[in-house]
A = this chain, B = another copy of it.
Amino acid sequence: MSLAQKTIKTAGNPLEELSALLAVDMKAANALILKQMHSDIPLIPQVAAWLIAAGGKRIRPLLTLACARLYGDMSGRPYGLAAAVEFIHTATLLHDDVIDKSEERRGRDSANVVFGNQASVLVGDFLFSRAFQLMVADGSLDVLRILSDASAVISEGEVMQLQTANNIETTMAQYEKVISAKTAALFAAACEIGPVIANADKKAQEAMHTYGHNLGMAFQIADDILDYAADGKKLGKTVGNDFREGKMTAPIIIALSQATPDEKRFWNRTAAEKSQTPDDLPRALDIFQRTDALTRGMDMAHDYARRASSCLAGLPPSALKAILADLAVYAVERDR
């Protein structure tokens, strides 16, 4: 029975449905992820495992597997590349948490808190190198090009984010450029290598690249809204982190676009000058309420989700296709 004909028993959460549909594949990819984070230097797998074994959604490797299967690849080849994609993601998380001085990740102390900044930077470097070793073992220069390009763009996005932080003049276009680079680029690459593995044509690669890009945009905008709206326990990290850091994300940019002079002073003090009191986060949430900032941010995310789904239009009907369409909506509506 082909994947296209397989019926899905789980209902509701498309990420769980995708994991269930690709359960055998994900088991193999996960085993490879755990195996490949090995090093003779015990601290390296310890730090890597802290993040990788702690769970996480594994959405990027799932996308690689899904997009390879979607174009007819039934080989074991995507496993190594799914692991490479997850390692690049994990490396960026390790470095991000050092840069943001984060204290929590996936519901527990972040690696920088437990193992220190030095180990986090170096194990990030190791996982990044290991990702390239996995790509080299696979042997496709196209895949190497797609993922090395994405990696360069990710670091550009992170630098842009550094520079827009605490700048209340940041425009929505600048914000979208940042998240396109820091998040959507890896989603796009993870999806694009699927048809490459399956030897599908350029058109298929472009379609999956665009699907991944739009999914990543929807995912990140929703993430930035969840940072204000989520239940902290479900999210697995502290709510209001972006606010405390003065990160310029969709909600603040929307609120600023219609701020009263008094509110403008509020954002200037809290985000630009980073001078905050405990009353400020509740006040920010009040302003979001008045300006409809979170709802309007969700609308933006839904727009991207729709664009993601439309990239699947040319594909024949299949369970996998249906789930990937649902996944775009789920990226926006998830509660963590």
Stretch touching chain B among A13-21, A148-156, A253-261, A303-311: A148-156
Contact A119 B159 (CB under 8 A): yes
Contact A148 B133 (CB under 8 A): yes
> Is A123 part of the binding interface, using a Cβ–Cβ cutoff of 8 Å?
yes
A100-149 at interface with B (beta carbon < 8 Å):
117-119, 121-123, 125-126, 128-130, 132-133, 135-136, 139, 141, 144-145, 148-149
Q: How far is the CA of A118 from the CA of B41 in the complex (A)?
A: 26
A251 to chain B, nearest CB (A): 23
Contact B129 A159 (CB under 8 A): no
- The contact of A152 among B43, B129, B135, B139, by CB within 8 Å, is B129
Please name all residues of chain B whose beta carbon is closer than 8 Å to the beta carbon of A313 when the two chains form the complex.
none
Contact B126 A155 (CB under 8 A): yes
Contact B162 A40 (CB under 8 A): no
- The contact of A44 among B98, B122, B149, B159, by CB within 8 Å, is B159
A81 to chain B, nearest CB (A): 14
Q: With A95-B122, A98-B121, A121-B95 known to touch, is A144 a contact of B132 (CB < 8 Å)? A: yes
* Residue of B whose beta carbon sits closest to that of A91: B125
A167 to chain B, nearest CB (A): 13
Q: How far is the CA of A278 from the CA of B272 in the complex (A)?
A: 42
Say whether chain A's binding surface is mostly helix, strand, loop, or mixed. helix
Q: How far is the CA of A118 from the CA of B161 in the complex (A)?
A: 11
> Is A289 part of the binding interface, using a Cβ–Cβ cutoff of 8 Å?
no
Contact A133 B118 (CB under 8 A): no
Query: How many copies of this chain does the complex contain?
Result: 2
Contact B128 A99 (CB under 8 A): no
Contact A162 B122 (CB under 8 A): yes
Please name all residues of chain B whose beta carbon is closer than 8 Å to the beta carbon of A129 when the two chains form the complex.
148, 151-152, 154-155
Please name all residues of chain B whose beta carbon is closer than 8 Å to the beta carbon of A133 when the two chains form the complex.
145, 148-149, 152
Contact B136 A44 (CB under 8 A): no
> Is A172 part of the binding interface, using a Cβ–Cβ cutoff of 8 Å?
no
Contact B136 A145 (CB under 8 A): yes
> Is A22 part of the binding interface, using a Cβ–Cβ cutoff of 8 Å?
no
* Residue of B whose beta carbon sits closest to that of A98: B121
Contact B126 A128 (CB under 8 A): no
Please name all residues of chain B whose beta carbon is closer than 8 Å to the beta carbon of A10 when the two chains form the complex.
none
Contact A139 B136 (CB under 8 A): no
A30-47 at interface with B (beta carbon < 8 Å):
39-41, 43-44
- The contact of A43 among B121, B122, B126, B163, by CB within 8 Å, is B163
Contact B126 A159 (CB under 8 A): yes
Contact B126 A125 (CB under 8 A): no
Sample of 22 A–B contacts (CB below 8 Å): A41-B156, A95-B121, A95-B122, A98-B121, A99-B121, A99-B122, A119-B159, A122-B158, A123-B155, A125-B151, A125-B154, A128-B128, A129-B152, A129-B155, A130-B152, A132-B144, A133-B148, A135-B144, A135-B148, A136-B141, A136-B144, A139-B141
Top 6 closest A-B pairs, CB basis? A129-B151, A129-B152, A126-B155, A132-B148, A125-B155, A99-B118
